[in-house]
Structure 1
């Protein structure tokens, strides 16, 4: 048995990134990520649906991902970049499945993000950056020299992954043969998302925000573009809210998508599965009555997914989609009349990240009961593992016991997951309250590397789904609107009280940690109580006033979350009331602050304010800055930085709580 140290865990982890099925359902193609010589390598693998040995299809010091299988099942297209280079220079490659080497399809200047086979298998749609740089005065110059200046005229000039949004992602078309030249289908000041071919191959649907005030009131809609010599763009769906992730039915009569029909939908309005009758042009919701969000909402960093999952057609009349329900991501079957039922036994504790179908068979990528993710077949409500590569690495480490709890709370039972060392039994142990981000999200049953490492060090890890968490219905989310630092704080403290009362948590050795919104609530709680012996906040929100402007989506998210803006005295006061910085003088709890320097969601400049205040006050605080990293460093950052992050968290709690 190997000690579950941060270094050992990060180096050993094999992560399932994405998968696809052949049209006949006989074969699963998937991408696996490993840490090799200090950097990530990803390769494409295949395994028979009915079982059998896995075969590695690509090799080398490369990052291969986003595989898509040709309709005849003979070729796989994928995106490849060399290890040590920016993913922006990734290109499209094609691999024959009956033997042979992969060959490079594209050499686009700004790289390729994703590939999508046409129904006849003769062409591929590509999503790739295009056009001249936006907001630039002067050329880049030789060897990537920075421009003279940037002239900003819109708010969408930055995002978390690329920093400055200098080019737009557009749709291209290329023949699936060597030396073919890609042709750009779309252009304009918008990004193309999630393209889907019509069955006749004559048009491609996609999500995009082409509105005149997209920078202030973003509103994704579904559009289509022709694939002929003179492609025209037209709107397919025009809901009051967002619409994205289109998928044509096999007979071409319907278009499924995910959306909301509420302008600026508040957090308590969940995205639903919709279907558009292409003949009448009338959209209708299939799942709104469930009061549950469609998509991957229960978090688990042991199951990576390249992008949010969309609907998958099982037949002309039936779809499958992931729905968040009570701290789980559950695959559902939904028919065109809106009848919905889970594809898996509700007793199975799963976090699902993807669904694909072929030949009447359905496969899902899921993490189950703190085990890492793999591809499973869905057969009569049961799950059968097709791949084991994503979870086998865990066998060398001590297991974690994951318990599902209902804890007493001020507004009713609080759903929670509790990770414990397997041999702990009912002993009283030092306990870490781990708060999830969002707040539109939930803890799922799939587990986290943090929980594995903390349990191995003798801690319990309590992960409550407090008010504001999704997957429990709008009535559980609504009380947090415009009320950060109120009902959420009450529930967080109540969940700890309940665990202490059960004799499972030592009240004198309590720790607290969280990322993003979880970082905000961590900072907030130590400003209103001194019951925690130590805390660790990561990429949090310190000052709601400055985050409104400094976060790349602060303006519109604040509006949807009911937090408001600082443009009036009343608005300024409301934002300041929910800012941890205003309670800095009350903070006595030792605080470890972890920050990705390139985070555009919760910027470093915001968290530096609380660090400065606590240093001036003479409090125990450390700020660790990780260069070149973004909001998701915890799961996607450079391996040595992920190791450093986890080691610092463990050392901080060991110093102030002491191991069991």
Structure 2
């Protein structure tokens, strides 16, 4: 599992060849840049990651025989000469380490590179300014700063205009974002920008120039991210109105959910599956449905669609699809082939909530050809809570899940209210209801599996990271369903996880305005829904896993929660990992965390898992 914990990211096509960034867990999570023939275009020690929004943005761009990239260690932009291998810094050294970050690299005019620049202006995590910049020939110049949050500008085919997305607090980009356009004046300066569409409750998550006079944009004025044509006069046409999500939450700048195919046809992602939108017929038709999740990194090469796709029987790998025949050609797989008998096949289920709401989930049953449950014994089950919370689960092979299901523990991945893929109305089920709707939906699914005779009611657990860590901790402190909880790099104190509280980063520092409510009016709600407030009311043991360099969910929160448990007689464990940020990238961390989690469940559920170190629980 740890060896496969990296995989491909940021795929694109360069001169007909497929290139991508590749995470290397065995190299500490380094991002290399490689191409389909196996050539490593960015070797060690270079690491093509950046910290824009802390989640990162498009980190590499090829122009001619030059590879521009952002380097993790100092966050500067460098260029590698692909003929000589020489690497040269493009941007100046920041006044303090990683104090200036760049991301979402795009081609500009006359050999320039355009990007988003993020500048730290003070000691707080929220002391951030952003602008759009151009750099070439050792010089960096500012182009615009229309909003507090921005995507990099894209140049029109005739070079006369630039377009980008922008939004301001307290909105998140999936709440509302504006499509901006500005004239590119002689000398490269931008004129004043105009807003063509978006804002006021409308989200735009991707744009591409179609012609000098029109753009294509994914926007949701009708409650679903659909593909639109946008004129420079602001005219808006929906190319194929469907109640399907063809876009997604813009967590990472440079995500690409659609790409034009020509002739009025476009490759799109419909709730993660590849589809073809035909604007003349007004249809969106799924192709290769067996590939159940595509990363938002679509590209076209030789008339075929290339991308990073996963399925119930395979983790994400790079593939090419011939749309005429439906033929799928693997370019590279992210992992060695595993014995299929050990891999659970996810079952797509819809559970019903107390108000008849539909709760989608995927059930991964215990799966091991060499073992069956003792007579009359039901399986323990773990509810997996995705992060975000504006995220989702997909029905794909997940080696984390297989690690548990191959050892007799079932997993159910819940797309609780607030998840993407089901339209704005479903996302907004969580508006001011975080810690209520998400917990309730997870409890509903767990109890339904018990009622169906699938899961053991005495051996239910819940696990999640980031926002999923919050829901897991909230369920362990404010519900009576789960006997154990695994809480990874969590949010535990809502008041402190704000801009004023100082314990989160700028991008999400106003996220809770919509998830919990605006301050100061909702202050008591923040306190009441914080798992830290109810730490003494845990319904069972908890395992905390935390990266010590996490800027999104810093260790301060887990530190305080664990400290409050000392001497209370509540079994718990707390593992921290040096050099890890938000989410784990090192192979050794992934392995240690999974073995600790298995040992934890074994102690709580009454079995002794062989082959893993015993996790010491504190009281």
TM-score, scaled to structure 2 = 0.80
Kindly state the Cα deviation for residue 334 of structure 1 after the two structures are TM-superposed: 3.3
Q: Give the direction of change, closer, same or farther, for the CA distance of 1:36–1:397 in structure 2 (3 Å limit).
A: farther
- For 1:370-424, what per-residue CA distance to the aligned partner results, in whole angstroms no more than 9, with x for missing partners? 5222222222373513312423x35389742222232542325532222345436
Given candidates 199, 223, 242, the residue that maps to 1:240 is 199
Is the Cα contact below 8 Å between 1:223 and 1:233 reproduced in 2?
Answer: no
Is the Cα contact below 8 Å between 2:382 and 2:409 reproduced in 1?
Answer: yes
Given candidates 563, 577, 591, the residue that maps to 2:542 is 591
Given candidates 508, 512, 517, the residue that maps to 1:558 is 512
Give 2:612's aligned residue: none
Q: Give the direction of change, closer, same or farther, for the CA distance of 1:360–1:387 in structure 2 (3 Å limit).
A: closer
| Gap regions ≥5 residues in structure 2 | 50-58, 94-100, 610-619
Secondary structure at the aligned position of 1:439 is classed as coil
Give 2:46's aligned residue: 62
Q: Distance in 2 between matches of 1:192 and 1:564?
A: 24
Q: Distance in 2 between matches of 1:87 and 1:419?
A: 41
Kindly state the Cα deviation for residue 293 of structure 1 after the two structures are TM-superposed: 5.7
Is the Cα contact below 8 Å between 1:374 and 1:389 reproduced in 2?
Answer: yes
Kindly state the Cα deviation for residue 466 of structure 1 after the two structures are TM-superposed: 2.5
Q: Distance in 2 between matches of 1:408 and 1:28?
A: 41
Q: Distance in 2 between matches of 1:61 and 1:436?
A: 32
Q: Distance in 1 between matches of 2:73 and 2:14?
A: 30
- For 1:583-628, what per-residue CA distance to the aligned partner results, in whole angstroms no more than 9, with x for missing partners? 3333130011223344444343334443343336432223334445
Is the Cα contact below 8 Å between 1:243 and 1:258 reproduced in 2?
Answer: yes
Q: Distance in 1 between matches of 2:40 and 2:569?
A: 56
Kindly state the Cα deviation for residue 310 of structure 1 after the two structures are TM-superposed: 4.6
Given candidates 45, 62, 72, the residue that maps to 2:35 is 45
Farther off after superposition, 60-69 or 448-457: 60-69
Kindly state the Cα deviation for residue 366 of structure 1 after the two structures are TM-superposed: 1.0
1:28 aligns with 2:18: yes
Q: Distance in 1 between matches of 2:291 and 2:33?
A: 30
Q: Distance in 2 between matches of 1:28 and 1:215?
A: 32
- For 1:426-474, what per-residue CA distance to the aligned partner results, in whole angstroms no more than 9, with x for missing partners? 8543221111122222111234342132234332211122233222234
Q: Give the direction of change, closer, same or farther, for the CA distance of 1:318–1:253 in structure 2 (3 Å limit).
A: farther
Secondary structure at the aligned position of 2:92 is classed as coil
- For 1:547-570, what per-residue CA distance to the aligned partner results, in whole angstroms no more than 9, with x for missing partners? 344334556322333x213423xx
Q: Distance in 1 between matches of 2:550 and 2:338?
A: 34
Q: Distance in 2 between matches of 1:223 and 1:206?
A: 7
Kindly state the Cα deviation for residue 17 of structure 1 after the two structures are TM-superposed: 1.8
TM-score, scaled to structure 1 = 0.76
Q: Give the direction of change, closer, same or farther, for the CA distance of 1:230–1:214 in structure 2 (3 Å limit).
A: farther
Give 1:125's aligned residue: 113
1:417 aligns with 2:369: no
Is the Cα contact below 8 Å between 1:254 and 1:276 reproduced in 2?
Answer: yes
1:258 aligns with 2:218: yes
1:647 aligns with 2:595: yes
Size of the aligned set, in residue pairs, is 575
Give 1:387's aligned residue: 331
| Gap regions ≥5 residues in structure 1 | 1-8, 48-53, 136-149, 151-156, 175-179, 263-268, 300-304
Give 1:158's aligned residue: 125
Kindly state the Cα deviation for residue 229 of structure 1 after the two structures are TM-superposed: 1.3
Q: Give the direction of change, closer, same or farther, for the CA distance of 1:381–1:253 in structure 2 (3 Å limit).
A: farther
RMSD (Å) for aligned C-alpha atoms: 3.8
Secondary structure at the aligned position of 1:488 is classed as helix
Kindly state the Cα deviation for residue 530 of structure 1 after the two structures are TM-superposed: 4.1
Q: Distance in 2 between matches of 1:44 and 1:343?
A: 29
Q: Distance in 2 between matches of 1:638 and 1:591?
A: 23
Secondary structure at the aligned position of 1:79 is classed as strand
Given candidates 112, 122, 134, the residue that maps to 1:172 is 134
Q: Distance in 2 between matches of 1:621 and 1:493?
A: 22
Is the Cα contact below 8 Å between 2:348 and 2:395 reproduced in 1?
Answer: no
